[in-house]
Copies of this chain bind each other. A is one copy, B any other.
Amino acid sequence: MLIGSIEAGGTKFVCAVGDEKGLVLDKTSFSTEEPDKTLAKVESFFKEHPIEALGVGTFGPVDLDKTSNSYGTILKTPKIKWQNYPFLQKLKNTFHVPVAMDTDVNTACLGEYYYGAAKEANSSLYITVGTGIGAGLVQNGQVFQGKNHSEMGHIFVQKHPDDDFKGSCPSHGACIEGLASGPAIEKRYGKKGYLLAENPGVWEMEAFYLAQAIMNYFVMLSPEKIILGGGVMKQEKLYQMVQDEFMNLLNGYLAVDNVKNLIVKPELKDEQGVIGAIMLGVKALKREI
């Protein structure tokens, strides 16, 4: 069984083929250009591989409401040429195999759920803290979705008492993405996060915000695992700071046996999206999606 996988990012596309065990057999990547040019490169990669199904984790927002006429279409995005692009339909027309699509972060969650840090769990939340903040939930092998996909980076949390930064989110200002994403850190301090590695106040504030986001996700969704990934989390000291702050906030209200087993690092390095998209393809083939 050869399954195709696309990780469609705003700046980079990764195309891969793999098997139903999530093993990646071949892979390529290229810059994201306008849709038709990009799709031509996708087509050329898969021409060499006889895939039986295709899974796609895409940037968004994207319409994932199956009852909608524009199911699989990219919605409002700063990448104007992609706006209203019927991405899923184009892929179906090109490859004539079952295609399943979800958001990038939901797809990454699926990868970690099956073959990464959550492989022993029945439910898992994957949070990425990078250029943006997003989170996806998988329970019993199913990606959680309401009418459309979640936008978990746009929740509001308490401001830190020492933080007078108004936030960097163009839509919401001081939502969690506007306060704690990579660009938020850079805008608040005038420097990229990794250049602030030795400034403890930066990371105390970051942990304060991430712990609140995790608190909100945890009390609402009750996942067994919370996987915290993305570029900002390369500051490894953040893990313990976030774990400690989360336990302070939770304050014994709900039982957590060991926070070090609850809030964890990803295990699939940068491949959770690619592997998750393979699993989406497997589900498309089995008609589970």
Contact = CB atoms under 8 A, between A and B. Distances in A.
Contacts of A215: 154-156
A219 interface: yes
A212 interface: yes
Interface of A: 61, 75, 122-123, 139, 145-152, 154-159, 171-172, 174, 212, 215-217, 219-224, 249, 251-255
How many copies of this chain sit in the oligomeric assembly? 2
Per DSSP, chain A at the interface is loop
A220 B145 CA distance: 9
A150 B219 contact: yes
A158 to B, nearest CB: 5
Contacts of A255: 75
A228 B145 CA distance: 21
A251 B212 contact: no
Nearest to A139: B146
Contact of A222 (B139, B146, B221, B253): B146
A50 to B, nearest CB: 36
A73 B75 CA distance: 45
Nearest to A64: B222
Nearest to A252: B171
A166 B281 CA distance: 50
A147 B223 contact: yes
A100 to B, nearest CB: 19
A183 to B, nearest CB: 17
A122 B139 contact: no
B224 A147 contact: yes
A289 to B, nearest CB: 15
Nearest to A255: B75
Contacts of A221: 146, 150, 220
